[in-house]
Amino acid sequence: MSKIPVFDPEKTWLTADPHLGHARIIHHLNRPFRDAAGQPDVDAMDQAFISNCHAAGIKDDHDLFIVGDFAHKCHPRKMNSYFHALPGRKHLVPGNHDNGATLALPWASEPRDIMVIRIGEQIVVLCHYAMRTWPHAGKSQALHCYGHSHGRLPPAGNSIDVGVDVFGMRPVRIDEIRRRLRAWPKNQVKPMERDHHVTEDEEETWAPSPR
């Protein structure tokens, strides 16, 4: 088993579902990117996400975890240019729209359907899809960060949607995620019963692998 990799809370960012290149997502989710004629402006959406990543303060030595659906219906050359325009070391937890061209981008770690990382002292489980339970959910009180639902699945316990439709087309750090969880009405963060699949000292394993 591999150790859970540790990342600096000040230099680690999470996001999901930018859907770069996907014009119809603007219509489906009423994203605020329209041209003068009122038509979806996908270039404006894509550039807003990239600009917001820079404005957030992501530097070259920071880590940006994208929890699925990086791009959809985006020409491979444009997607490659977007990838390199984004700051930081980029990691992907694939979503249902991440095709072979997306997976082939030079991610900082091997894309995996489930990743377990530690941000400071906080264990965080990343998966594009929201889960009822997850590794280290018991005694370790791991947080689960997901995407896919585009803000339509509210926080519950220690799980939260970190997608761009929740956080205004921008990535977030663990401190903001914790604040959002605490502030959510009636969100009572309680310890779960211990998962018998996970031993107390387990140092599992869906951790990002260097490429």
Checking if the pLDDT of 199 tops 90, the result is no
- Catalogue all structural domains in the chain, each as residue range(s) with its CATH number: 6-183 (3.60.21.10)
pLDDT for the residue numbered 210: 59
Going by C-beta distance under 8 Å and a sequence separation of 6 or more, which residues neighbour residue 125? 114, 115, 116, 131, 134, 135, 136, 137, 142, 143, 144, 145, 206
Looking up tokens 């107390």 gives 200
pLDDT for the residue numbered 204: 42
pLDDT for the residue numbered 195: 40
Is residue 117 within 8 A of residue 4, CB to CB? The reply is yes
Looking up tokens 């999901």 gives 16
Chain segment 141-173, per-residue pLDDT in tens: 899 999 999 999 988 889 999 999 999 999 999
The CA distance from 91 to 67, in Å, is: 8
Is residue 110 within 8 A of residue 211, CB to CB? The reply is yes
Chain segment 17-65, per-residue pLDDT in tens: 999 999 999 999 999 999 999 999 999 999 999 999 999 999 999 999 9
